């Protein structure tokens, strides 16, 4: 597989020429001292360098080795622990985290570019910090001040990770069917019991603690989705000073053996009377969880874009190097035995299709990220309201369209390589396998269509 090169020039073009984002930053009191064009460039260059050098080289080896489950413990592939520590030590887990709790405080438009680079380099690796960032966002918006002060700083630092525990064996899309129970304790905590499945990063060896956000029912909860509450359940119990104590009653029963993203641990999680803490109001858990889910849905769309970009880079490099046949208009490399295949019309059609979808997808994801920033940072209530409405409308579109096009783009990349695209060593077949899940998780693309038509239009 070719080396990954972060598309920093294309990102800068969107920032400075298409959307003129630095001009808006300069007019926004909450951001004017936090970020400008030079800061954005430096942040993305530094992140891109680490991602290309430390994370991208683990993509193929991680796919071949996969995660390993032994007696309830999950071991990530060789190199993941060190690369994750380097990523976290540079502050990238908390790049968009609230500064008052130790995050870097960067706007979402910057975080979106970092997500693209990380997922293009290694989607399995990128899922671990992505889930943490989403969990942090849900806590920031819905948790009590004591919970935020205790849990957000180590999560932004990357010492602790986050997970979202929604799906159960009988309840996937229809969360109203879930059965996990939450019994009130005498000290304000809750006793959580139930089984969750398809939990990304539910168990791993990258961090010293994992903070699970778990949907469960209180004893007096009404039936259906209106009776669901959200709970924070740490893997390791934490005292009031943030020190780690004894293990909570949370265990990983197994991990899934999957078509792709094999270096991402997809876990069955068992909660056997685990200690948990209510996040937000009782029976309002879906409202809080959708804060995280909508963040993740845009992130999944960006995953489709990212894999398309990685596929394009590999296909372009191959097409410039592979010699086969002659151009229809005559030899373009007469000194060589044949012309590079990039001269052939069908190869150029596929490469240009890939390039168009990637550049359009990047503009789309950046635009949605900008609307998220407007909704969060603008001082004008009307601007915030319009931005929130645009985000609500465009989130299902971004998730479904960009993942559908991501798969199409990776297939084009494989086709450019011909037979070499079908075998492992060139990396294109892995990109297709990894990309396929993006159309399925965080709500299948059919569910995104239901959301768009049933709720948004």
Query: CA 342 to CA 324: how far, in whole Å?
Result: 10
Dihedral (C-alpha) 2, 205, 269, 193: value to the nearest 10 degrees? -150
CA distance 385 to 388: 5
Two tokens at 77? Answer: 């592939």
- For the record, the structure tokens of 181 come out as 């129970």
Distance in angstroms (rounded) separating the CA atoms of residues 41 and 106: 12
- Which secondary-structure segment (H or E) carries 124? helix 123-142
Structure tokens at 341: 């295949």
Structure tokens at 177: 């069917």
Is 442 noted as a catalytic residue in this protein?
Answer: yes
Measured in degrees and rounded to the nearest 5, phi and psi for residue 81 equal -60, -50
**What letter does residue 174 receive in the DSSP assignment?**
-
Task: Supply angle C-alpha 410, 304, 202, rounded to 5.
Answer: 120
- Whose tokens are 């780690």? That residue is 244
Q: Are strands 190-200 and 266-279 parallel, antiparallel or unpaired?
A: antiparallel
Backbone phi and psi for residue 408, each to the nearest 5 degrees, phi listed first: -60, -40
Q: How far apart, in whole angstroms, are the C-alpha atoms of residue 161 and residue 242?
A: 14
For 220, residues 6+ apart whose C-beta sits below 8 A from its C-beta are none
Q: How many residues does the chain have?
A: 457
- Joined together, the tokens standing for residue 395 give 């989130």
* C-alpha–C-alpha distance, residues 54 and 57, integer Å: 6
CA-CA distance, 372 to 378, in Å (whole number)?
Answer: 10
**Beta pairing class for 160-165 and 209-216:** parallel
**62, 77 Cβ separation under 8 angstroms:** yes
Q: How many other CB atoms sit within 10 Å of the CB of residue 246?
A: 7
Per the structure block, which two tokens stand in for 268? 């069955």
Task: Check: CB of residue 232 under 8 Å from CB of residue 203.
Answer: no
User: What residues are labeled active site?
Assistant: 442
């Amino acid at each position: 597989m070719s080396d990954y090169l972060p598309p920093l020039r294309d990102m800068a073009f969107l920032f400075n020429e298409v959307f003129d984002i630095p001009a808006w930053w300069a007019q926004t009191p909450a951001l004017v001292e936090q970020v400008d064009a030079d800061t954005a460039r430096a942040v993305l260059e530094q992140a891109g360098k680490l991602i290309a050098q430390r994370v991208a080289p683990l993509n193929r080896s991680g796919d071949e080795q996969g995660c390993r489950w032994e007696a309830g413990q999950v071991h990530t592939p060789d190199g993941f622990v060190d690369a994750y520590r380097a990523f976290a030590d540079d502050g990238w887990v908390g790049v968009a985290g609230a500064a008052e709790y130790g995050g870097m405080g960067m706007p979402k438009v910057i975080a979106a570019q970092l997500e693209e680079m990380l997922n293009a380099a290694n989607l399995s690796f990128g899922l671990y910090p992505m889930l943490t960032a989403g969990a942090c966002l849900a806590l920031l918006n819905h948790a009590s001040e004591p919970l935020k002060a205790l849990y957000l700083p180590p999560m932004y630092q990357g010492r602790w990770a986050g997970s979202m525990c929604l799906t159960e064996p009988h309840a996937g899309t229809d969360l109203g069917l879930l059965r996990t129970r939450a019994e009130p304790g005498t000290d304000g905590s809750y006793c959580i019991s139930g089984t969750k499945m398809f939990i990304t990063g539910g168990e791993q060896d990258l961090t010293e603690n994992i903070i699970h956000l778990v949907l469960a029912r209180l004893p007096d909860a009404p039936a259906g989705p209106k009776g669901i509450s959200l709970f924070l359940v740490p893997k390791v119990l934490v005292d009031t000073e943030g020190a780690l104590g004894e293990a909570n009653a949370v265990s990983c029963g197994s991990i899934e053996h999957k078509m792709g993203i094999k270096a991402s641990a997809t876990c069955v999680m068992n909660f056997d009377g685990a200690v948990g803490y209510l996040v937000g109001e009782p029976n309002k858990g879906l409202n809080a969880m959708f804060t995280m889910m909508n963040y993740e849905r845009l992130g999944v769309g960006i995953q489709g874009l990212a894999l398309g970009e990685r596929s394009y880079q590999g296909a372009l490099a191959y097409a410039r190097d592979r010699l086969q046949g002659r151009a229809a208009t005559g030899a373009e490399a007469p000194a060589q035995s044949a012309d590079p295949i990039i001269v052939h019309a069908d190869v150029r059609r596929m490469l240009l299709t890939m390039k168009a979808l990637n550049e359009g997808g990047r503009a789309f994801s950046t635009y949605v990220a900008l609307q998220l920033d407007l909704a969060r940072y603008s001082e004008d209530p009307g601007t915030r309201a319009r931005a929130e409405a645009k985000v609500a409308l465009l989130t299902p579109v971004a998730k479904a369209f960009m993942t559908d096009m991501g798969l199409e783009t990776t297939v084009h990349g494989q086709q450019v390589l011909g037979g070499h695209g079908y075998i492992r060593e060139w990396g294109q077949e892995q990109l297709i396998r990894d990309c396929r899940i993006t159309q399925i998780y965080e709500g299948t693309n059919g569910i995104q269509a239901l959301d768009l038509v049933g709720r948004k239009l």
